[in-house]
Structures are given as structure tokens and as C-alpha cells.
Amino acid sequence: MRHRHDLAVPLEDARVLVAGLGVSGRAAAAALRPRAGAVVTLDDRADDADLHDAAAVDLGDVDLVVVSPGWPPSHPLLAHAGERGVPVWSEVELAWRLRVPGPSGEPAPWLALTGTNGKTTTVEMLETILRTAGLRAAAVGNVGAPVVEAVLDPTLEVLAVELSSFQLHFTHTTSPEAGAVLNVAPDHLDWHGGLDAYAADKGRVYEDARVACVYNAADARTEALVREADVVEGARAVGFTLGAPARGQLGVVEDVLVDRAFHAPADARDRHATAAELGTLADLAHLAGPDGRVPAHVVANALAAAALARAHGVPAVAVRDGLRAFRTGAHRIQQVAVVDGVAYVDDSRPRTRTPRRRRSRRSPPAPSCGSPGGSRRAPRSTSSSPRGPTACGRWCSSVRTPSRSRVHWPDTRRISPWCVSTLATLGP
């Protein structure tokens, strides 16, 4: 759980220190200059920074610090700012407060995700699905353009936002339409101070979620983060699994990707006895490894992306077509050559290795058949509170605190019999 604080900073009069001039720091400074009272930049390696020595900063002359992701909370400047009560925001937090209305008249909703591994692939899958559905969407954040640039684009209808634990640490008031944590494994522990603190920062992606909190059913820590989150009333937990899905989950039955979370309206009488097909493993065949099989983590990423898209109201056929159209970026399980019958694969993009776990004896066996068919979920409202110039014309980043509650968990009992042939299928 994060503490909601620093809810109102009148940027028009604020003296803002931007700490770090990487990509996000420069984007933050550019966004702030026409909106803040004064902007000073700090970076000991950037020649064009206003200041180069953090020890020389007088926090008595600073109303707000916007910090780049590389700066740990233990940095003396940030620790001193906390002691003095000077707000510290990430570029993501600044972006949330500067959002402008999109084509609907409301700011573009965020579908936000994080995780130790698979973030970039999943957010790019999500972007492809959203665009296939005919939406003006962009993958931003830890990939693509900085979030603060994207939120100022009035043509975008929805944002697929990849967030690192660094970015989330100093993010306080975001309220995504849906959030997801793909997995949590030990990483960046020196920056965060330990695994629990690292996981807690990942869990910030769920805070004030409006529609869904998507978690990995095979990773108990992601489920625990959902249970600890404060969300907007009505938001629900949605799991993804490589096995047959329980109620409120997306999963796999034989070779079919199945939705038992967003397949029907919440008040449908037969909701718990129905499911919908989102595609098949054949739709991911172009992402197969050298052995011709689609890796398990690719299937998991596809299910997570599908869950976020479905939370936005994307129809099942667009999920399938988006997965078919998706192509991976560089250095992600790319076969580069076959020499003397040996396949050489470029998988050089860094990722955190996790130890294998023994399969739980309590894991249910994979069923051989599925449930009666159902209908696709009706699109949900994507409205959210607007941000931008207030009625008085001031760029005042006041934030409306929504009604908050714990996540709704569905009855997770499995249904029987489970018959794949009677799913709500998509056709060719």
C-alpha cells in the first residue's frame, strides 16, 4: 500500500528541481518549463545541466523534486528532501498529473504493467492488440516515448505503460484502468534495500486500479500484492495461468487461449458456466523457439497482454488478430543461424534468472474438456477524472481521491465438464 500524499502542488508557482537528465529527465524538464514557476536541472555528467553537484542544492529554494529512475531513494539529496517534507515525484507521477483530454474528452486511460521479466514483450504485445482493435494507442514508459510526452498528446486514446520498480517507487497517485505484475524475482535489491521493498514497489502498479488487477496465478507473490492493494470500488482480481483457468482467470485448455474473466457482462446469469476463446497456440507459432514450440513465457506474456486489453473492452477477435500480428523486438529469442544442425539463438537481452520450483502436489490436473460457450464482454467505460488546467486556468496538480476498497475476488471453483468444442469460438 502506498501513502497518498503531496496531493496538491501548484506547479504554476513551484520551483522544481529535475534530478537527472536522462531520457525521462529531459522529457520532464521540457514538460515543466511552460508550466512551472522555475525549473532547475541537476546532473553531474550532463554538460547542459544547471547544476552538477547535488551537495550544493539548497532545498529551501525547492518546492518539488522530479527524479529520474536511476536515483535510489537512499541518495542523500532525496533522503534530505523527505526529511524536509519536499515532495519527490517520478516522471511517471508528473505525467499522471499533467494528462490532457483525449478524443473522448477524458485523458487516455492507462493499462500499466510491471514485472521482473517480460515487461517489454508484453507491453508491445498489448500495443499491437490495441492498435489491431482500431485504437490510437502507444507503448510508453520504460519502452518507447517517456510517459510525460505521451500524456500531452491529445490524439491518443489509450496508453500501454511499462513501468520499472525504479519508476514506481516515487509514483504516488496514479489510477490505471488496469494494472499487471507479470512476476517477481530478486532483482535490483541493492537499489530497493531488499526483496520485500522491491516487491512492494512493483505492487504500486495496482494502487487505485479502476477495472482490474492482473496477476500471475503461478507466482504467489503477485497474488499477494493484489490482496494488499487499495483499489477503486468494483475493481477485481484477474489471474492468468498456463493451465485451465478458474473463474476470473485467463488460461489455456489444450491449445486454446481461454477467457473466463471478461467473456460476459458481470450480471449475466450464466457467466460462471461460460468462457470465450481468445485464440490458439497456432496464433503464436511465429514466436516459437528453434524446437518449433511456443515457449511458456511467451504464452504467459500473451495472456497478460490479453487480460489488460480485455479490461479495456477489446473484443476477443482483436486479441487473436493482434497476437498474430505481433513481432518481437531485437535480442528476444531470435534464431540467427543453423549450422550443422545446431540452431543459434540471440536471446542476449538481459533478464533475471529465477530458480525452478517443484510442481505443487495440490495443482489440479489439466482437464480434457471445457465449458459451454458464451458471449464477448461488452466494452467498459474508460472514463477517468481529467487532469490539466483547472477552472481557474492554473496548472494545479490537484488529484481527486477515488472511492477506495480492496480487490474483488471471484469464486475460483472450477466447472465441470470442461469441453473446448463448446467455447464461444472465433472462427477462422
Residues 6+ apart with CB under 8 A from 228: 1, 203
| Grid cell listed for 197 | 521493498
Q: Which domains does the chain have, with CATH numbers?
A: 11-91 (3.40.50.720), 97-327+359-422 (3.40.1190.10)
Of 94, 85, 98, 82, the C-alpha closest to 20 is: 94
Could you tell me if residue 372 is left (phi over 0), alpha (psi between -120 and 50 degrees) or otherwise beta? beta
The whole-chain average pLDDT of the chain stands at 83
Q: Is the pLDDT of residue 317 over 60?
A: yes
Residue-level pLDDT at 1: 52
Winning range, highest mean pLDDT, from 55-64, 354-363, 393-402, 406-415? 55-64
**Under DSSP, is residue 101 helix (H, G, I), strand (E, B) or coil?**
strand
Reading the block at residue 192, the C-alpha cell is: 530497493
Give the side-chain half-sphere CA count within 13 A for 60: 2
> Distances in Å between the alpha carbon of 174 and those of 46, 159, 296, 368, 399?
30, 13, 31, 42, 9
pLDDT per residue as tens digits for the range 115-171 = 999 999 999 999 999 999 999 999 999 889 999 999 999 999 999 999 999 999 999
C-alpha cell at 216: 500471475
Predicted confidence band of residue 393 (pLDDT cuts 50, 70, 90): very low
Chain segment 61-106, per-residue pLDDT in tens:
999 999 999 899 999 999 999 999 999 999 999 999 999 999 999 9
Banded pLDDT at 390 (limits 50, 70, 90): very low
**Pair 183, 219: CB distance under 8 Å:** yes
pLDDT at position 401 over 80: no
Residues in Cβ contact with 11 at an 8 Å cutoff, skipping those fewer than 6 apart: 32, 35, 36, 37, 64, 97, 395, 396, 397
Structure confidence at residue 368 (pLDDT): 29
Percent of the chain with pLDDT over 90: 68
